[in-house]
Structure 1
Amino acid sequence: MLYKHPYVILRREIDHINFQKKYIEDEHFIELYEDKIITAENKFDLKIVFDMSYKMLSDKYGFFYLHTTKGVFTYQVKQDPAELIAQFRKVEIK
C-alpha cells in the first residue's frame, strides 16, 4: 500500500425508546496501491481512474471525488486529501 486516507460514512439511527435521532460516523479508508484503489465499498483498477479532486465545504467536512470511467464516486472527508492526490499522480496510468 502506498497511501491511505480516512473518510467517513454518516448514518442516522433512531432511539425509539427516547425518541431521539443520533448520527454515527463510521471511519473507513481510501487505500492507494500501485495498481488499484480500494475503499470499503469498491475496488478500482487504476486503469479506469482518470482524476481525483476535492472540495472542503467547512473546517469540519469536505467531499473527495474519484473520477472513473464508471462515473464519479464521492466520499466525505474530514481532512484535506492533497497527499493522497499527490501520491496518485506518481502512479496514475496516462
Structure 2
Amino acid sequence: MNWIAKQSYYKIHRKVTSTEQMTVVNDRDMYLYEDKVMTQYQEFPIEDVFDMSYRNIGGEGGFLYLHTKQGVYPYTVRADPRVFIDSFKELK
C-alpha cells in the first residue's frame, strides 16, 4: 500500500560520558496511510488518531502533535506540516 502523505521530523539524543557531551540528530519520516500513521518506531491505527495540530516555535520549525487514544505525541519538525495535517483531515 502506498502512503498518502509524508512528513519529516527529527529526534535529538544527548549522550554524556565522563569526558564529553555529544548531541546526535536523527532525521526520520512519518507516513500517513489510509488505515494508519507510521513513524520510525510506532504505528497508530487511523481510528485511534483523533486530531493533529502544529505549534510554531521561534522562527524555524515547531512541534507536530498527534492526538491519539493513547495520549498526545509530539514530533519536532523543521517546516510547517500543514500539507500533512490537511491530508489527515481529508482522510478523516
TM-score after normalising by structure 1: 0.87
Distance 1:83 1:34 in 2: 15
Amino acid at match of 2:46: L
* TM-aligned CA deviation for residue 33 of structure 1: 0.5
Which residue of 1 is the match for residue 4 of structure 2?
A: 2
Residue of structure 2 equivalent to 1:25: 25
Task: Please give the alpha-carbon distance, in whole angstroms, between the structure 2 residues aligned to 1:60 and 1:91.
Answer: 28
Paired position in structure 2 for 1:75: 75
Q: What amino acid maps onto 2:9 in structure 1?
A: Y
**Aligned pairs, how many?**
90
> How big is each residue's C-alpha offset from its partner over 1:33-91, in whole Å with a ceiling of 9 and x where there is no partner?
01110001210111111100010111233111000111111111111000000100111
Residue 48, structure 1, aligned to residue 51, structure 2: no
Q: Which runs of 5+ in 1 are unaligned?
A: none
- State the secondary structure of the residue aligned to 2:29: strand
Q: Give me the whole-angstrom Cα distance separating, in 1, the residues matched to 2:41 and 2:73.
A: 10
Query: Gaps (5+ residues) in structure 2?
Result: none
With normalisation by structure 2, the TM-score equals 0.89
Residues 61 and 80 of structure 2 are in contact (CA less than 8 Å); yes or no, is this contact kept in structure 1? no
| Alpha-carbon separation, structure 1, partners of 2:36 and 2:68 | 12
Q: Specify the alignment match of 2:84 in structure 1.
A: 84
Q: Distance in 1 between matches of 2:61 and 2:45?
A: 27
Structure 1 stretches of 4+ moved >4 Å: none
Which entry has the higher C-alpha Rg, 1 or 2?
1
